[in-house]
Amino acid sequence: MITVLVATFNGEPHISAQLDSLLNQTRPPDRIVIQDDCSTDATWEILQRYQQTHPDLITLAVNSENSRSSAANFLAMMVAQRDDYLMLCDQDDVWLPDKIAVSYEKIRAMERQWGVETPLLVHTDLTLVDADLKQLGGSFRENTFADYSRTSLRDQIIQNTATGCTVIYNRALAERLETIPTRMVMHDWWISLVAAAFGRIGHLDDQTILYRQHTGNQIGVTDMRTLRYKLGRLFNGAKVKADIHKTYPQAAEFLATYAEQLDREQTAFLTEYCAIPSQRKWRRIAAVIRLGVWKTGFSRNLAYLLFI
């Protein structure tokens, strides 16, 4: 059984195209669970029409009050829902027809290798498009220099590599999601930390989604290949510092949430990482070097050391 979790909020312009792409998969989902975050446009009416047409496939729910972020809306569903396999779906993208099929094939292969009791997560690349689905050039991975081989807890603590809307994960990983963290950065980052600590992260280079970039994006994609971006990292210390410092509360929350399940090495690593911001500058730099906690790319790491 494959369940797709869809988080919606004022998604009227694009939600129909997204739901149509789910219904037209070569390997259709077994369930589609949609949780609306108190939309004020026509999203709920559109969802009801789809549910009436597909009553055995689509389940609808609405939050009692707005959760204030798609991450919180998603993670509430991720904690509540269990199935053999679960996939996360944004409201404004379009899934290519074989997205479920290739993701399912990959995670099944990983289960044969590591066992179904191992928490497993698989993610893919994306095709960047504008609001009208016209390609913008380059994939998500190309634009962000994402290194999908960096799958350890040490790698993931500083930089998430899995984009939530590309993710499929198994029941063993779902069962590790028992509480809603209050200090997570994003839901996909949190589940990547769980997979890195207790299981395995796999990836496909396939671009399985048309990933819309528009004014309503909660998180957009910046082309990190440009000189403008690289110089911006070096001359915008406040932004770099803010990006770094939001990782410490998330790490502390992760340590507190899974304290009894982490091994001694993981506990020691997280404890030392969480202590970095309380230290003097030279000790912070020394801790990064000693722990081996690095971002991807020379310019990002240079800015990291300058503004830590």
Give the closest residue to 46 by CA, choosing from 56, 33, 36. Answer: 36
Cα–Cα distance, 146 to 183 (Å, whole number): 24
Contact 73, 9 (CB under 8 A): yes
CA-to-CA dists, residue 288 to 41, 172, 282, 291, 308, angstroms:
46, 32, 10, 5, 9
Write the CB contacts of 141 (distance below 8 Å, at least 6 apart in sequence).
125, 126, 148, 205
Where along the chain do its domains lie?
2-212, 227-307
pLDDT for the residue numbered 226: 54
pLDDT for the residue numbered 228: 52
Give the closest residue to 296 by CA, choosing from 131, 142, 172. Answer: 142
Give the closest residue to 270 by CA, choosing from 249, 242, 244, 296. Answer: 249
Contact 279, 308 (CB under 8 A): no
Cα–Cα distance, 293 to 239 (Å, whole number): 19
Give the closest residue to 153 by CA, choosing from 296, 292, 300, 307. Answer: 292
Per-residue pLDDT tens, the chain, 308 aa: give them. 999 999 999 999 999 999 999 999 999 999 999 999 999 999 999 999 999 999 999 999 999 999 999 999 999 999 999 999 999 999 999 999 999 999 999 999 999 999 999 999 999 999 999 999 999 988 999 998 899 999 999 999 999 999 999 999 999 999 999 999 999 999 999 999 999 999 999 999 999 999 999 655 545 555 555 545 545 555 578 889 999 999 999 999 999 999 999 999 999 999 999 999 999 999 999 999 999 999 988 888 998 999 99
pLDDT for the residue numbered 232: 55
pLDDT for the residue numbered 215: 57
Whether domain 2-212 has CATH 3.90.550.10: the reply is yes
Helix (H) or strand (E) segment spanning residue 2: strand 2-8
